[in-house]
Amino acid sequence: MKEQSMSSHRPDESMLHAWMDGELVPESAAAVAQWLAEHPDEAARMAALQAQNAGLQALHAQVLDEPVPLQLQRALRRAPVQWRWPHALAAGLMLSVGLGLGYGAANMGHQRAALAQAGASEGSVQTVKSMQLPMFVREAAAAHAVYVPEQRHPVEVAAQQQAHLVQWLSKRLGVQLKPPVLEAQGFHLMGGRLLPGETGQARAQFMYEDAAGQRLTLYVSVLSKQGASAAPVAFQWASDGATQGFYWIDGQQGYALSAAMPRERLQMLAEAIYHQLT
């Protein structure tokens, strides 16, 4: 795919969608991420499209395990001379749609299984390509790009109302949340906000800042049983241009830590957060 050079001009739709799908080279991805950070409405639109795509992919996942309908089997067994082209076309379309849904569901299933099984021990680190990232990680990256540049409204509820923030977000997500304390690592809690997930689930974002004004976000999601993992925790490294970080799945909860800082420091922060949450 041909990539245009980035400037202050708006990226075209093909480039925005390529960024969303993780198909750009790092330089172009960083430029698009920077442009989205400066245009929060467009960043929110991209996040909504990602959530919509995930919902569509999961909509007919059950088709993978269903038998081929008897009517279609009978139609395929008929002699060619008995077919009229409208019926043949309809049967072909049905078959191609069924195969496409089955392949998509199988592919998603294989990716989730691979991510769940990656790493045999706590703290092990795996690198995952953008195309293979779980949807909650893509949501986290989009939310990070939208809200980290904000100066007046970076969070919805400030840390001064932490008790209310935790109670509110815990109620909406259906699990008891506990924002990690990162003072020893040089970061203080700014606050947090409620965000929508791929098909309407509630997500939480906590934002932190250090003395130099550098920010990081922790995105918390409650996954479906299919997306949850009973395997040992394995930190996964994800990088998409300017936004990078670690994510992990612990039971039925998914966490994504995002920031623009060196990998080694982010891993140290991820491990500190993990040990506080267990």
Q: Are 248 and 219 in contact (CB under 8 A)?
A: no
Residue 63 lies in a domain: no
> Average pLDDT for residues 88-109, to the nearest whole number?
44
In a domain, 28, yes or no: no
Q: Which of 110-114, 260-264, 268-272 has the highest mean pLDDT?
A: 268-272
Q: What is the CATH number of the domain that holds 166?
A: 3.30.200.100
Say whether pTM exceeds 0.85.
no
105, 60 Cβ separation under 8 angstroms: yes
> What is the C-alpha separation between 16 and 6, in angstroms, rounded?
12
Categorize the per-residue pLDDT at 193 as very low, low, confident or very high, splitting at 50, 70 and 90.
very high
**C-alpha torsion sign, points 100, 252, 44, 261:** negative
β-pairing, 234-240 vs 243-250, is antiparallel
Q: What is the pLDDT of residue 271?
A: 92
Q: Is residue 132 part of a domain?
A: yes
- Asked if the structure places residue 77 within a domain, the reply is no
Which of 66 and 161 is assigned the larger pLDDT? 161
Q: Which residues contact 48 (CB under 8 A, 6 or more apart)?
A: none
Q: What percent of the chain has pLDDT over 90?
A: 32
The total domain count for the chain is 1
- 248 — phi, psi (to 5°)? -155, 160
The answer to whether residue 33 sits within a structural domain is no
Please indicate, yes or no, if residue 69 is contained in any of the structural domains.
Answer: no
Residue 110 in any domain: the answer is no
Q: Does residue 51 or residue 120 have the better pLDDT?
A: 51
Within a domain: 93: no
Q: Encode pLDDT of 42-69 as tens digits.
A: 777 777 776 666 555 545 545 545 566 6
> If you average pLDDT over residues 189-194, what whole number do you get?
96
- pLDDT-wise least confident of 121-125, 204-208, 254-258: 121-125
- Over the stretch 196-251, which tens digit does the pLDDT of each residue have? 887 778 999 999 999 999 999 999 999 876 655 544 557 888 876 666 899 999 88
Q: What is the pLDDT of residue 62?
A: 52
At residue 17, the pLDDT reads 80
The per-residue pLDDT for 53 is: 62
Higher pLDDT, 213 or 79: 213
Can you give the residue range of the structural domain that contains 244?
A: 119-277
